[in-house]
Protein backbone atom coordinates (compact mmCIF):
# COMPACT_ATOMS: atom_id res chain seq x y z
CA UNK A 1 0.00 0.00 0.00
CA UNK A 2 1.42 3.39 -0.97
CA UNK A 3 1.48 6.31 1.41
CA UNK A 4 -1.18 8.04 -0.71
CA UNK A 5 -3.46 5.01 -0.61
CA UNK A 6 -2.93 4.69 3.12
CA UNK A 7 -3.81 8.35 3.58
CA UNK A 8 -6.96 7.96 1.46
CA UNK A 9 -7.98 4.93 3.51
CA UNK A 10 -7.46 6.90 6.70
CA UNK A 11 -9.59 9.78 5.40
CA UNK A 12 -12.38 7.53 4.17
CA UNK A 13 -15.24 7.51 6.70
CA UNK A 14 -15.98 4.29 8.51
CA UNK A 15 -19.16 2.48 7.61
CA UNK A 16 -21.86 3.97 9.86
CA UNK A 17 -23.12 1.82 12.70
CA UNK A 18 -26.78 2.88 12.43
CA UNK A 19 -28.93 2.35 9.37
CA UNK A 20 -32.31 3.84 8.52
CA UNK A 21 -34.89 1.45 9.96
CA UNK A 22 -36.90 1.72 6.75
CA UNK A 23 -34.46 2.49 3.91
CA UNK A 24 -37.20 3.10 1.34
CA UNK A 25 -36.48 6.39 -0.42
CA UNK A 26 -37.81 5.61 -3.91
CA UNK A 27 -39.76 8.38 -5.62
CA UNK A 28 -42.29 5.90 -6.93
CA UNK A 29 -43.53 3.49 -5.93
CA UNK A 30 -42.80 5.06 -2.56
CA UNK A 31 -42.41 3.72 0.97
CA UNK A 32 -45.44 1.98 2.43
CA UNK A 33 -47.01 3.71 5.44
CA UNK A 34 -45.31 2.95 8.77
CA UNK A 35 -46.89 -0.13 10.30
CA UNK A 36 -48.06 -1.45 6.94
CA UNK A 37 -48.42 -5.21 6.66
CA UNK A 38 -50.20 -7.14 3.93
CA UNK A 39 -51.94 -9.15 6.63
CA UNK A 40 -53.62 -5.94 7.84
CA UNK A 41 -55.44 -5.32 4.56
CA UNK A 42 -59.15 -6.00 4.41
CA UNK A 43 -59.83 -8.91 2.06
CA UNK A 44 -63.61 -9.31 1.92
CA UNK A 45 -63.72 -7.56 -1.47
CA UNK A 46 -61.12 -9.87 -3.02
CA UNK A 47 -62.42 -12.51 -5.37
CA UNK A 48 -65.63 -10.51 -5.73
CA UNK A 49 -66.86 -8.50 -8.67
CA UNK A 50 -66.01 -4.81 -8.50
CA UNK A 51 -69.66 -4.33 -9.52
CA UNK A 52 -70.89 -6.26 -6.48
CA UNK A 53 -72.35 -4.43 -3.50
CA UNK A 54 -69.16 -4.78 -1.46
CA UNK A 55 -66.98 -3.91 -4.46
CA UNK A 56 -68.82 -0.66 -5.10
CA UNK A 57 -68.94 0.13 -1.38
CA UNK A 58 -65.16 -0.19 -1.02
CA UNK A 59 -64.48 1.85 -4.15
CA UNK A 60 -66.85 4.57 -2.92
CA UNK A 61 -65.26 4.47 0.53
CA UNK A 62 -61.84 4.96 -1.05
CA UNK A 63 -63.17 7.94 -2.99
CA UNK A 64 -64.77 9.40 0.16
CA UNK A 65 -61.51 9.08 2.10
CA UNK A 66 -59.55 10.79 -0.68
CA UNK A 67 -62.07 13.63 -0.75
CA UNK A 68 -61.85 14.05 3.02
CA UNK A 69 -58.05 14.05 3.20
CA UNK A 70 -57.66 16.32 0.18
CA UNK A 71 -60.30 18.70 1.56
CA UNK A 72 -61.87 18.55 -1.87
CA UNK A 73 -64.98 20.74 -2.19
CA UNK A 74 -68.29 19.30 -3.36
CA UNK A 75 -67.87 21.26 -6.60
CA UNK A 76 -65.13 18.82 -7.67
CA UNK A 77 -65.66 15.20 -8.70
CA UNK A 78 -63.10 12.50 -7.97
CA UNK A 79 -62.83 9.13 -9.67
CA UNK A 80 -60.55 6.11 -9.96
CA UNK A 81 -59.29 5.47 -13.51
CA UNK A 82 -56.84 3.09 -15.21
CA UNK A 83 -53.19 3.71 -16.01
CA UNK A 84 -51.80 5.41 -12.91
CA UNK A 85 -51.23 9.19 -13.04
CA UNK A 86 -50.17 8.90 -16.67
CA UNK A 87 -53.47 7.31 -17.63
CA UNK A 88 -55.45 9.92 -15.71
CA UNK A 89 -53.61 12.85 -17.29
CA UNK A 90 -53.80 11.34 -20.79
CA UNK A 91 -57.53 10.84 -20.25
CA UNK A 92 -57.90 14.52 -19.44
CA UNK A 93 -55.81 15.61 -22.42
CA UNK A 94 -57.56 13.39 -24.95
CA UNK A 95 -61.08 14.28 -23.82
CA UNK A 96 -60.76 18.03 -23.22
CA UNK A 97 -57.96 19.52 -25.32
CA UNK A 98 -58.57 21.00 -28.75
CA UNK A 99 -61.42 23.30 -27.78
CA UNK A 100 -59.11 26.32 -27.47
CA UNK A 101 -55.38 27.12 -27.73
CA UNK A 102 -53.03 25.24 -25.41
CA UNK A 103 -50.04 26.26 -23.29
CA UNK A 104 -47.78 23.58 -21.88
CA UNK A 105 -45.21 24.20 -19.15
CA UNK A 106 -42.17 21.94 -18.96
CA UNK A 107 -39.25 22.02 -16.57
CA UNK A 108 -38.66 18.28 -16.18
CA UNK A 109 -39.26 14.91 -17.84
CA UNK A 110 -42.98 14.42 -17.25
CA UNK A 111 -43.88 17.95 -18.29
CA UNK A 112 -41.93 17.31 -21.49
CA UNK A 113 -43.93 14.13 -21.94
CA UNK A 114 -47.18 16.09 -22.01
CA UNK A 115 -45.65 18.43 -24.60
CA UNK A 116 -44.73 15.45 -26.77
CA UNK A 117 -48.21 13.97 -26.56
CA UNK A 118 -49.92 17.27 -27.30
CA UNK A 119 -47.77 17.79 -30.40
CA UNK A 120 -47.20 14.31 -31.79
CA UNK A 121 -50.32 12.43 -30.74
CA UNK A 122 -53.05 15.08 -30.64
CA UNK A 123 -51.42 17.17 -33.41
CA UNK A 124 -51.90 20.39 -31.47
CA UNK A 125 -49.60 23.39 -31.72
CA UNK A 126 -49.13 24.39 -28.09
CA UNK A 127 -47.28 27.40 -26.81
CA UNK A 128 -44.47 25.76 -24.82
CA UNK A 129 -42.89 27.53 -21.84
CA UNK A 130 -39.74 25.68 -20.80
CA UNK A 131 -37.04 25.86 -18.15
CA UNK A 132 -33.95 23.80 -17.46
CA UNK A 133 -33.80 21.20 -14.69
CA UNK A 134 -33.69 23.01 -11.35
CA UNK A 135 -35.49 26.06 -12.74
CA UNK A 136 -39.14 26.86 -13.40
CA UNK A 137 -40.85 28.35 -16.43
CA UNK A 138 -42.00 31.98 -16.33
CA UNK A 139 -45.39 31.57 -14.69
CA UNK A 140 -46.23 35.23 -15.30
CA UNK A 141 -46.01 34.62 -19.05
CA UNK A 142 -48.95 32.20 -19.05
CA UNK A 143 -51.92 33.27 -21.18
CA UNK A 144 -55.02 32.11 -19.34
CA UNK A 145 -57.22 32.39 -22.40
CA UNK A 146 -55.51 29.07 -23.22
CA UNK A 147 -55.85 25.68 -21.62
CA UNK A 148 -52.72 25.27 -19.48
CA UNK A 149 -50.92 22.00 -18.65
CA UNK A 150 -48.30 21.80 -15.89
CA UNK A 151 -46.82 19.60 -13.19
CA UNK A 152 -47.52 20.96 -9.71
CA UNK A 153 -44.47 19.13 -8.39
CA UNK A 154 -41.89 17.99 -10.94
CA UNK A 155 -40.87 14.57 -9.66
CA UNK A 156 -37.72 14.31 -11.79
CA UNK A 157 -36.29 17.76 -11.08
CA UNK A 158 -37.50 18.51 -7.57
CA UNK A 159 -39.12 21.76 -8.73
CA UNK A 160 -42.66 22.71 -7.72
CA UNK A 161 -44.85 25.69 -8.41
CA UNK A 162 -44.60 27.99 -5.36
CA UNK A 163 -48.37 28.38 -4.96
CA UNK A 164 -51.51 28.87 -7.02
CA UNK A 165 -51.45 32.67 -7.10
CA UNK A 166 -50.28 32.70 -10.73
CA UNK A 167 -53.43 30.86 -11.87
CA UNK A 168 -55.98 33.49 -12.90
CA UNK A 169 -59.32 33.47 -11.12
CA UNK A 170 -61.00 34.77 -14.29
CA UNK A 171 -59.26 32.29 -16.61
CA UNK A 172 -61.02 31.36 -19.82
CA UNK A 173 -58.98 28.20 -20.33
CA UNK A 174 -58.77 25.20 -18.05
CA UNK A 175 -55.92 24.52 -15.63
CA UNK A 176 -54.61 20.94 -15.90
CA UNK A 177 -52.40 20.00 -12.93
CA UNK A 178 -50.38 16.81 -12.89
CA UNK A 179 -50.34 16.68 -9.10
CA UNK A 180 -49.09 13.16 -8.48
CA UNK A 181 -46.20 14.18 -6.20
CA UNK A 182 -48.09 17.12 -4.72
CA UNK A 183 -51.36 15.76 -3.31
CA UNK A 184 -51.25 15.03 0.43
CA UNK A 185 -48.01 17.06 0.64
CA UNK A 186 -49.20 20.59 -0.16
CA UNK A 187 -52.39 22.49 0.63
CA UNK A 188 -53.72 22.72 -2.92
CA UNK A 189 -56.04 25.62 -3.86
CA UNK A 190 -58.86 23.70 -5.49
CA UNK A 191 -60.58 26.85 -6.74
CA UNK A 192 -57.56 27.32 -9.00
CA UNK A 193 -57.58 23.77 -10.37
CA UNK A 194 -59.99 22.57 -13.06
CA UNK A 195 -58.33 19.19 -13.64
CA UNK A 196 -55.95 17.34 -11.31
CA UNK A 197 -54.48 13.86 -11.51
CA UNK A 198 -52.43 11.64 -9.23
CA UNK A 199 -51.72 8.03 -8.32
CA UNK A 200 -51.72 6.20 -5.01
CA UNK A 201 -48.10 5.09 -5.36
CA UNK A 202 -46.56 8.46 -4.44
CA UNK A 203 -47.32 10.27 -1.17
CA UNK A 204 -49.73 7.57 0.03
CA UNK A 205 -47.22 4.77 -0.56
CA UNK A 206 -49.89 2.81 -2.41
CA UNK A 207 -49.68 0.52 -5.41
CA UNK A 208 -49.33 1.44 -9.08
CA UNK A 209 -51.55 1.03 -12.17
CA UNK A 210 -54.48 3.07 -10.81
CA UNK A 211 -54.92 6.78 -11.37
CA UNK A 212 -57.18 9.36 -9.80
CA UNK A 213 -58.93 12.05 -11.84
CA UNK A 214 -60.34 15.18 -10.23
CA UNK A 215 -62.66 17.43 -12.23
CA UNK A 216 -63.87 20.89 -11.31
CA UNK A 217 -67.19 22.23 -12.66
CA UNK A 218 -65.57 23.98 -15.63
CA UNK A 219 -63.92 20.73 -16.70
CA UNK A 220 -67.27 18.95 -16.54
CA UNK A 221 -68.80 21.71 -18.65
CA UNK A 222 -66.03 21.22 -21.23
CA UNK A 223 -66.64 17.48 -21.37
CA UNK A 224 -70.37 17.93 -21.88
CA UNK A 225 -70.12 20.67 -24.53
CA UNK A 226 -67.06 19.68 -26.56
CA UNK A 227 -66.39 16.64 -28.72
CA UNK A 228 -62.74 16.07 -29.70
CA UNK A 229 -61.88 15.61 -33.37
CA UNK A 230 -60.05 12.35 -32.68
CA UNK A 231 -61.43 8.94 -31.68
CA UNK A 232 -61.30 8.06 -27.97
CA UNK A 233 -60.30 4.64 -26.63
CA UNK A 234 -62.90 3.04 -24.36
CA UNK A 235 -60.81 3.60 -21.23
CA UNK A 236 -60.78 7.37 -21.91
CA UNK A 237 -64.51 7.87 -22.40
CA UNK A 238 -66.07 10.02 -19.70
CA UNK A 239 -69.23 11.11 -21.51
CA UNK A 240 -72.31 9.15 -22.54
CA UNK A 241 -75.02 10.75 -24.70
CA UNK A 242 -73.63 14.20 -24.02
CA UNK A 243 -73.59 13.83 -20.25
CA UNK A 244 -70.79 13.06 -17.83
CA UNK A 245 -70.60 9.38 -16.88
CA UNK A 246 -71.30 10.11 -13.21
CA UNK A 247 -70.79 6.48 -12.22
CA UNK A 248 -67.03 6.84 -12.72
CA UNK A 249 -67.06 9.24 -9.78
CA UNK A 250 -69.20 6.97 -7.61
CA UNK A 251 -67.04 3.88 -7.65
CA UNK A 252 -68.29 2.48 -10.96
CA UNK A 253 -64.89 2.29 -12.64
CA UNK A 254 -64.50 2.27 -16.43
CA UNK A 255 -62.73 -1.07 -16.32
CA UNK A 256 -61.78 -3.63 -13.68
CA UNK A 257 -59.61 -2.30 -10.86
CA UNK A 258 -57.44 -4.36 -8.55
CA UNK A 259 -59.47 -4.57 -5.37
CA UNK A 260 -56.25 -5.52 -3.57
CA UNK A 261 -54.73 -2.21 -4.68
CA UNK A 262 -57.91 -0.45 -3.59
CA UNK A 263 -57.73 -2.04 -0.13
CA UNK A 264 -54.07 -1.04 0.06
CA UNK A 265 -55.00 2.55 -0.77
CA UNK A 266 -57.73 2.48 1.88
CA UNK A 267 -55.17 1.32 4.44
CA UNK A 268 -52.92 4.28 3.58
CA UNK A 269 -55.80 6.75 3.63
CA UNK A 270 -57.03 5.49 7.00
CA UNK A 271 -53.46 5.75 8.30
CA UNK A 272 -53.31 9.37 7.15
CA UNK A 273 -56.69 10.14 8.65
CA UNK A 274 -55.60 8.59 11.94
CA UNK A 275 -52.57 10.87 12.07
CA UNK A 276 -54.77 13.93 11.79
CA UNK A 277 -55.52 14.20 8.09
CA UNK A 278 -54.01 16.45 5.45
CA UNK A 279 -52.31 18.81 7.88
CA UNK A 280 -50.48 15.93 9.57
CA UNK A 281 -49.32 14.47 6.26
CA UNK A 282 -48.05 17.85 5.09
CA UNK A 283 -46.26 18.36 8.40
CA UNK A 284 -44.49 15.00 8.08
CA UNK A 285 -43.32 15.74 4.55
CA UNK A 286 -42.10 19.20 5.56
CA UNK A 287 -40.17 17.72 8.50
CA UNK A 288 -38.52 15.16 6.24
CA UNK A 289 -37.51 17.79 3.70
CA UNK A 290 -36.12 19.99 6.48
CA UNK A 291 -34.06 17.08 7.83
CA UNK A 292 -32.64 16.40 4.38
CA UNK A 293 -31.89 20.08 3.89
CA UNK A 294 -29.84 20.05 7.11
CA UNK A 295 -27.82 17.15 5.71
CA UNK A 296 -27.18 19.14 2.53
CA UNK A 297 -26.20 22.30 4.40
CA UNK A 298 -23.69 20.37 6.51
CA UNK A 299 -21.84 19.04 3.44
CA UNK A 300 -20.04 21.16 0.88
CA UNK A 301 -20.21 18.36 -1.69
CA UNK A 302 -24.02 18.18 -1.67
CA UNK A 303 -26.40 20.74 -3.11
CA UNK A 304 -30.00 21.18 -4.25
CA UNK A 305 -30.80 20.94 -7.95
CA UNK A 306 -33.57 23.44 -7.20
CA UNK A 307 -31.48 26.19 -5.64
CA UNK A 308 -34.46 28.45 -4.87
CA UNK A 309 -36.30 27.20 -1.75
CA UNK A 310 -39.54 28.81 -2.98
CA UNK A 311 -39.77 26.32 -5.85
CA UNK A 312 -38.03 23.37 -4.15
CA UNK A 313 -40.08 20.22 -3.71
CA UNK A 314 -40.64 18.81 -0.24
CA UNK A 315 -41.39 15.35 -1.65
CA UNK A 316 -39.11 14.46 -4.56
CA UNK A 317 -35.94 16.23 -3.43
CA UNK A 318 -33.19 16.19 -6.07
CA UNK A 319 -29.58 16.71 -5.01
CA UNK A 320 -26.41 17.60 -6.88
CA UNK A 321 -23.19 15.77 -5.96
CA UNK A 322 -19.90 17.57 -6.49
CA UNK A 323 -17.73 15.97 -9.14
CA UNK A 324 -20.08 13.03 -9.64
CA UNK A 325 -21.02 11.76 -13.07
CA UNK A 326 -23.59 9.05 -13.77
CA UNK A 327 -21.06 6.31 -13.01
CA UNK A 328 -20.33 7.70 -9.53
CA UNK A 329 -24.05 8.15 -8.79
CA UNK A 330 -24.77 4.62 -9.94
CA UNK A 331 -21.96 3.32 -7.73
CA UNK A 332 -23.24 5.27 -4.72
CA UNK A 333 -26.78 3.96 -5.20
CA UNK A 334 -25.48 0.41 -5.61
CA UNK A 335 -23.36 0.62 -2.46
CA UNK A 336 -26.25 1.98 -0.41
CA UNK A 337 -28.62 -0.69 -1.68
CA UNK A 338 -26.13 -3.50 -1.02
CA UNK A 339 -25.78 -2.32 2.59
CA UNK A 340 -29.54 -2.02 3.07
CA UNK A 341 -29.02 1.63 3.95
CA UNK A 342 -31.00 3.29 1.15
CA UNK A 343 -32.93 1.98 -1.83
CA UNK A 344 -33.53 3.67 -5.19
CA UNK A 345 -31.82 7.01 -4.55
CA UNK A 346 -30.24 7.63 -7.96
CA UNK A 347 -31.73 10.54 -9.88
CA UNK A 348 -34.10 10.04 -12.79
CA UNK A 349 -32.46 8.82 -15.99
CA UNK A 350 -33.27 11.98 -17.99
CA UNK A 351 -32.23 14.38 -15.22
CA UNK A 352 -28.71 15.68 -14.49
CA UNK A 353 -26.61 13.14 -12.59
CA UNK A 354 -27.46 13.33 -8.90
CA UNK A 355 -29.42 11.81 -6.05
CA UNK A 356 -33.17 11.86 -5.48
CA UNK A 357 -34.50 11.27 -1.97
CA UNK A 358 -38.22 10.87 -1.38
CA UNK A 359 -39.41 12.88 1.61
CA UNK A 360 -43.14 12.20 1.45
CA UNK A 361 -45.26 11.49 4.50
CA UNK A 362 -44.73 7.72 4.59
CA UNK A 363 -41.00 8.23 5.27
CA UNK A 364 -39.89 8.65 8.89
CA UNK A 365 -37.79 11.72 9.72
CA UNK A 366 -35.42 9.59 11.81
CA UNK A 367 -34.62 7.56 8.70
CA UNK A 368 -33.77 10.70 6.74
CA UNK A 369 -31.50 11.80 9.59
CA UNK A 370 -29.77 8.41 9.66
CA UNK A 371 -29.11 8.68 5.93
CA UNK A 372 -26.53 11.49 6.19
CA UNK A 373 -23.52 9.44 7.39
CA UNK A 374 -24.32 6.77 4.82
CA UNK A 375 -24.22 9.34 2.04
CA UNK A 376 -20.78 10.39 3.31
CA UNK A 377 -19.59 6.80 3.25
CA UNK A 378 -21.03 6.01 -0.18
CA UNK A 379 -19.63 9.20 -1.72
CA UNK A 380 -16.13 8.61 -0.38
CA UNK A 381 -16.19 4.95 -1.36
CA UNK A 382 -17.52 5.58 -4.86
CA UNK A 383 -15.01 8.37 -5.52
CA UNK A 384 -12.15 6.15 -4.38
CA UNK A 385 -13.19 3.24 -6.62
Q: Are 261 and 207 in contact (CB under 8 A)?
A: yes
**Comparing C-alpha atoms, which of 192, 187, 196 is closest to residue 88?**
196
Q: Is the pLDDT of residue 13 over 80?
A: no
The distance from CA 62 to its chain's CA centroid, rounded to whole angstroms, is 19
Q: Return the CATH class of domain 38-273.
A: alpha beta
Predicted confidence (pLDDT) at residue 145 exceeds the cutoff of 50: yes
In the chain, where are the structural domains located? 38-273, 277-384
Alpha carbon distance 212, 79 (integer Å): 6
Q: What is the domain class of 277-384 according to CATH?
A: alpha beta
pTM of the shown model: 0.95
Task: List, in sequence order, the alpha helices (H) in 226-361.
Answer: 259-275, 278-297, 326-338
**Banded pLDDT at 385 (limits 50, 70, 90):** confident
Q: Give the residue-averaged pLDDT of 248-271.
A: 97
pLDDT tens, position by position, 165-200: 999 999 999 999 999 999 999 999 999 999 999 999
Amino acid sequence: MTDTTAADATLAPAKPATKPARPYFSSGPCAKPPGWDAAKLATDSLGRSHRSKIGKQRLQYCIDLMRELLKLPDTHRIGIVPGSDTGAFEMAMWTMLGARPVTTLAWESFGEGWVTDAVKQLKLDPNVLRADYGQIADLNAVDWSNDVLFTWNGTTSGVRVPNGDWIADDREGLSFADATSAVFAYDLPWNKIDVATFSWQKVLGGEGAHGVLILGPRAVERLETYTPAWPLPKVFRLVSKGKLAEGVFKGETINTPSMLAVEDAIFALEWGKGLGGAEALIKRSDANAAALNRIVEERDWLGHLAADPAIRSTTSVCLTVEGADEAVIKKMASLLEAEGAAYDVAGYRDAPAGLRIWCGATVETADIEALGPWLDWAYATAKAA
